[in-house]
């Protein structure tokens, strides 16, 4: 099942708890779609560096709202500093707010979200049909930070015929990115706990 998980990180944990209560939970087949964050991160860096956004693929990990969205520029060979870096991070984390403001509060990023969802669904179908090395970022039941009370996390995931085939580690981070990740994990833990609590109180 694909969950359009922005801007509420609690939606995937809620769905997981519902499935668990019915005895049908399969962690390999529940995905929070976070592709839009990668699309935005790649587009915004292309604007700064005057490159083709189609050739950019910025790794984004964490969650799918606000400070839980962590773009890892260093893994794509880019380095921003000072105000430029801060503005870039803000745009990636709160890009949806720009759209809402541009529409005067009358709508959100519907088309880009639809495109991102379609891209992930297409990748999942390719993997289901046997294509190898299909990798997409997605918010899943993950072991990466489970020991810190964060059982769901978005990172690069290899997709296979049965869903999640391999969950990739976050990889090497700069000191700045590590700081972003620490904030992310704190917020994500709260979001997940809130979703799990709600699901248990509303069976």
**What CA–CA distance (Å, rounded) separates 51 from 49?**
6
pTM, two decimals, is 0.91
Please give the Cα distance from 192 to 195 (Å, whole number): 5
Q: Single out the residue of 129, 130, 124, 195 nearest to residue 164, CA to CA.
A: 124
Judge contact between 127 and 21, C-beta under 8 A: no
Active site residue 168: no
What's the token pair of residue 37? 């964050």
Place of tokens 């592709």: 35
Instruction: Report the distance separating Cα 147 and Cα 76, nearest Å.
Output: 28
pLDDT score at 101: 60
Q: What is the pLDDT of residue 97?
A: 55
Domains and their CATH numbers in the chain: 2-198 (3.90.110.10)
Among 30, 39, 61, 64, which one carries the catalytic annotation? 64
Mind listing the pLDDT tens digit of every residue in the chain (203 residues)?
899 877 789 999 999 999 999 999 999 999 999 998 998 899 999 999 999 988 999 999 999 989 999 999 999 988 899 999 999 999 999 876 565 465 555 555 577 778 888 999 999 999 999 999 999 999 999 999 999 999 999 999 999 999 999 999 999 999 999 999 999 999 999 999 999 999 999 98
Which among 49, 7, 1, 56 has a CA at the least distance from the CA of 24? 1
């Amino acid at each position: 099942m694909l969950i359009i998980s922005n801007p509420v990180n609690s939606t995937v944990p809620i769905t997981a708890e519902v499935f668990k209560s019915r005895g049908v939970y399969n962690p390999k087949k529940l995905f929070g779609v976070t592709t839009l964050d990668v699309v935005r991160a790649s587009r915004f860096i292309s604007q700064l560096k005057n490159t083709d956004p189609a050739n950019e693929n910025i790794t984004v990990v964490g969650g799918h709202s606000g400070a839980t969205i962590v773009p890892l520029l260093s893994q794509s060979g880019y380095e921003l500093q000072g105000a430029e870096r801060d503005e870039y991070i803000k745009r990636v984390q709160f890009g949806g707010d720009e759209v809402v403001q541009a529409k005067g509060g009358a709508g959100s990023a519907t088309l880009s979200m639809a495109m991102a969802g379609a891209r992930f669904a297409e990748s999942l179908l390719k993997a289901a049909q046997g294509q190898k090395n299909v990798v997409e970022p997605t918010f899943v039941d993950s072991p990466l930070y489970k020991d810190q009370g964060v059982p769901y996390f978005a990172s690069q995931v290899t997709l296979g015929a049965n869903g999640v085939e391999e969950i990739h580690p976050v990889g090497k981070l700069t000191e700045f990115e590590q700081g972003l990740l620490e904030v992310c994990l704190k917020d994500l833990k709260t979001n997940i706990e809130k979703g799990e609590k709600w699901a248990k109180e509303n069976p």
